[in-house]
Amino acid sequence: MNIQTIVKIISAVFGLLGVVFLFRIIGVGDEEIKMAASMGDFGSVSPLVSLAIAILIVTVVVTLLFSLLNLASSAQKLKKSLIFIGCFAVVLGIAFAASEGVETPLKDGEVLSASGSRWVGTGLRMFYILAALAILSMVLSGAKKIFNR
């Protein structure tokens, strides 16, 4: 049995389980699910959520495994990947250093800690930095094509 057959069988099993759990939820109905959830009972929805988490875990593990196996096949690929991971860590460090945290009250009455606020700011700054770098690389690539004609 080859890997493609195994993947098809696993996909079919996950798909059938998803359909079974979906029909179970549809059979229970919206109002009963809402009433049960208000009392803390998530029994009818929990299997579908657990299935989604299992599929996510399998997907992440398989992706990481095959990525690492592909990187291990070539020292040049591994070197490039480590350089890009280092660059990403530098951007993370810059974004973290530029962020500051302030306790923030939320709409539901909870309070976002200063640390949580700083990490939110870090994520936003990382997005802005990486978006600016992507736009800059597209502009430079376009300019290089124009001038090389």
pLDDT of 32-45, one tens digit each?
Answer: 888 887 877 777 78
pLDDT given for residue 91 in this prediction: 96
Q: What pLDDT is stored for residue 25 in this prediction?
A: 84
Among 73, 107, 129, the domain-final residue is: 73
Total number of domains in the chain: 2
| Statement to judge: residues 60 and 89 lie in one domain | no
**Cβ neighbours, 10 Å, residue 21:** 19
Query: Same domain for 83 and 147?
Result: yes
The answer on 120 and 56 residing in a single domain is no
Let me know: does 47 contact 21? Beta carbons within 8 Å: yes
SS3 content of the chain, % helix, strand, coil (to 5): 80, 5, 15
CB atoms within 10 A of CB 122: 19
Q: What does the pLDDT read at residue 38? A: 80
Neighbouring-strand partners of residue 112: 104
Residue 132 tokens, joined: 């600016």
**Residue 86 is which amino acid?**
G
Pick from 41, 73, 105: which residue ends a domain?
73
Residue count of the chain: 149
- Of 54, 73, 92, the one marking the end of a domain is 73
Q: Look at residue 111 and give its three-state secondary structure.
A: strand
Give every residue of the chain whose pLDDT is below 50, as ranges.
none
The answer to whether residues 121 and 148 belong to one domain is: yes
Tens-digit pLDDT profile for residues 117-138: 999 999 999 999 999 999 999 9
Range of the domain at 134: 75-149
- pTM of the full predicted structure? 0.61
Q: According to the model, what pLDDT value does residue 31 have?
A: 81
